């Protein structure tokens, strides 16, 4: 009998403690620490997570799911620290291109409204942007701009650009869709050193993987067009018509 009484007394005080915590100030998020977000601003990260300072602490249980579902992040970890602090650590999805509408194409095919920091492009013809050069350490690689590529092609294009070596991707200034009857996936690439290439979406990353060696065999100031196709690669000195 005494054990039962002690049990109910302990249960009562436990309920009092839980109720005091649930309805007290510690039941709300006191502060949120965000780590790893560079392209996505802190406030936007909190909005995507669905948890902010002052919210009910239980909302943090769904924060990781919300972040991953947004398409902006490759990974996310959410940790609670007593009494009411939340730690959010994210790894952003890689940005692979900029769209004409001011949006950013990510490696997973998601179209983001957040631009990467320092996404300004170096000028065309810059010798510092040779496709055979590695990007400088500590600086963000410039991203190609996409023009006139149908939206339903963008997920595949994102996957191809993500699989392309970064030094080659950084050397591309523009990817323009130029569909024709024989190849609705035809693309024109304009490189930062002035080179123009005609290619196609299929197997694009595989063709660009060997591009540095191909580029070294071409003139320093090319006036023609490089044709990059799965069937073969060749260069024509005829004047560029695009």
Residue range 41-72, pLDDT digits in tens: 999 999 999 998 888 888 889 999 999 999 99
Query: Is 95-236 CATH 3.40.50.300?
Result: no
* The pLDDT value given to residue 241: 56
Q: Domain boundaries in the chain?
A: 2-92, 95-236
* The pLDDT value given to residue 136: 45
**CATH code of the region 2-92:** 3.10.20.310
What's the start-to-end Cα distance of the chain, in Å?
Answer: 93
* The pLDDT value given to residue 29: 87
33: number of CA atoms within 13 Å, CB side? 9
Q: What is the pTM of this model?
A: 0.80
* The pLDDT value given to residue 205: 94
Neighbouring CB atoms inside 10 A of 20's CB total 11
Low-confidence ranges of the chain (pLDDT < 70): 1-27, 118-141, 238-242
Tally of residues, the chain: 242
């Amino acid at each position: 009998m005494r054990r039962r009484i002690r049990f109910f007394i302990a249960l009562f005080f436990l309920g009092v403690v839980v109720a005091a915590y649930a309805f007290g100030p510690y039941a709300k998020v006191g502060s949120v620490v965000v780590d790893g977000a560079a392209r996505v601003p802190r406030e936007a990260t909190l909005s995507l997570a669905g948890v902010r300072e002052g919210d009910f602490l239980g909302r943090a249980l769904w924060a990781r799911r919300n972040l991953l579902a947004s398409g902006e992040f490759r990974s996310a970890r959410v940790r609670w620290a007593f009494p009411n602090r939340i730690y959010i650590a994210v790894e952003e999805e890689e940005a692979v291109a900029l769209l004409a509408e001011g949006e950013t194409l990510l490696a997973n095919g998601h179209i983001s409204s957040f631009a990467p920091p320092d996404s300004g492009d170096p000028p065309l013809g810059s010798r510092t942007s040779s496709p055979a050069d590695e990007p400088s350490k500590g600086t963000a690689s410039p991203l190609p701009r996409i023009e006139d590529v149908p939206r339903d092609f963008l997920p595949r294009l994102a996957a191809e650009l993500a699989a392309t070596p970064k030094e080659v991707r950084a050397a591309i200034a523009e990817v323009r869709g130029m569909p024709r009857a024989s190849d609705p996936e035809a693309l024109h690439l304009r490189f930062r050193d002035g080179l123009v290439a005609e290619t196609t979406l299929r197997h694009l990353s595989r063709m660009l993987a060997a591009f540095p060696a191909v580029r070294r065999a071409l003139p320093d100031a090319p006036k023609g067009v490089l044709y990059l196709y799965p069937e073969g690669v060749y260069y024509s000195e005829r004047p560029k018509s695009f």
